[in-house]
Amino acid sequence: MRLEKLRYKMMFLFMKTLTPKLKILLDDNCRKGYIRLNDYKLHDNVPRPSILKIKELTGNKQLVGVEIGVRDGINAISIYNTLNIKQLFLIDSWINYDSIDCHYNDMNENFNKTIEKIVDKDNITVLKGFSSEMVSEIKDNSLDFVYIDGNHFYYYALQDLELYSKKVKLNGFICGHDLSIDSVKFAVYDFCRKYDLKYESLYPDFFIQKTHDNVVALNESNLNKIINQNE
């Protein structure tokens, strides 16, 4: 009996010591996007909650928006059918990333599926390329909303939030998918804390209203500092 009590006591002390360090390690790796503690397949569940919220708040007003991370166009066409779209920009590179573990075999197929879905829609524009490159195609303060569902690694998610928030009008909407993925959650949290904004969790989406205009676009130097701090 004494040996059993001693064993449990040692185990308790071991876990008490290890758990905080393990949590720091997990949080750090989730922040960088190396691991995901929460992952699921919710791709086909449309319309997405944040798009429905935009519809609720804007009614039948004509909107200009961007979707980052288009994949096969399922969400894009849902956005188009749910909102009164004046102009919708679809941004995706449809290529794999060589520098990180992000490889899919159906990139060309997904691109073709997207084109098939929008071929007869003149007010949808496809911008094929990385979101960091395509941002120059969008005018500052020209968007009613941006929906972010691109690369979910922390620094890419934060990069999209930083770069495209400047493109959104005052009182417009910055939203996106996969808040339950830890790297996305950290990016949203850090972005909102930096700019004194509030985000709402609309599982599995996040939803931010740009309530003030102190969100400024990053220059390349500042963006590299953010990336380097989180590598």
Looking up residue 182, the CATH number of its domain turns out to be 3.40.50.150
Residue 20 lies in a domain: no
> What does the pLDDT profile of the chain (231 residues) look like in tens digits?
566 556 656 665 666 566 665 655 555 555 444 444 444 455 678 899 999 999 999 999 999 999 999 999 999 999 999 999 999 999 999 987 655 555 556 788 999 999 999 999 999 999 999 999 999 999 999 999 999 999 989 999 999 999 999 999 999 999 999 998 999 999 999 999 999 999 999 999 999 999 987 665 444 455 555 555 544
Instruction: Look at strands 63-68 and 143-148 and give their pairing.
Output: parallel
Look up residue 48 and give its two tokens: 């997405």
Domain assignment of residue 131, yes or no: yes
Supply the DSSP symbol for 97.
B
Residue 81 domain-assigned? Answer: yes
Does residue 181 sit within a domain? yes
pLDDT for 217: 47
Let me know if residue 11 belongs to a domain: no
Strands 85-92 and 63-68, sheet pairing: parallel
Determine contact, residues 52/25, Cβ cutoff 8 Å.
Answer: no
Question: Do the domain assignments include residue 1?
Answer: no
- Number of other CB atoms surrounding residue 231 within 10 Å: 8
Residue 174's alpha-carbon distances to 71, 112, 117, in angstroms, are 19, 27, 25
Give the domain extent around 138.
Answer: 49-229
Cα 148 to Cα 109: distance, rounded to the nearest angstrom:
21
How far apart, in whole angstroms, are the C-alpha atoms of residue 175 and residue 53? Answer: 10
Give me the pLDDT at residue 212, please.
Answer: 85
Overall number of domains in the chain: 1
In a domain, 118, yes or no: yes
| Rounded-to-integer distance, Cα 192 and Cα 211, Å | 11
Give me the pLDDT at residue 40, please: 42
Asked whether 40 and 177 are in contact (CB, 8 A), the reply is no
Cα Dmax for the chain: 78
How many Å apart are CA 217 and CA 219, to the nearest integer? 7
Residue in the block written with tokens 């679809």: 90
Q: Is residue 5 part of a domain?
A: no
Of 132, 166, 149, 144, nearest to 204 by C-alpha is 149
Task: Please classify residue 220 by burial: count the beta carbons closer than 10 Å to its beta carbon, then call 0-12 exposed, 13-18 middle and 19+ buried.
Answer: exposed
Nearest residue to 126 via CA among 68, 74, 184: 68
Task: Copy the structure tokens of residue 112.
Answer: 């073709």
The whole model's pTM is what?
A: 0.76
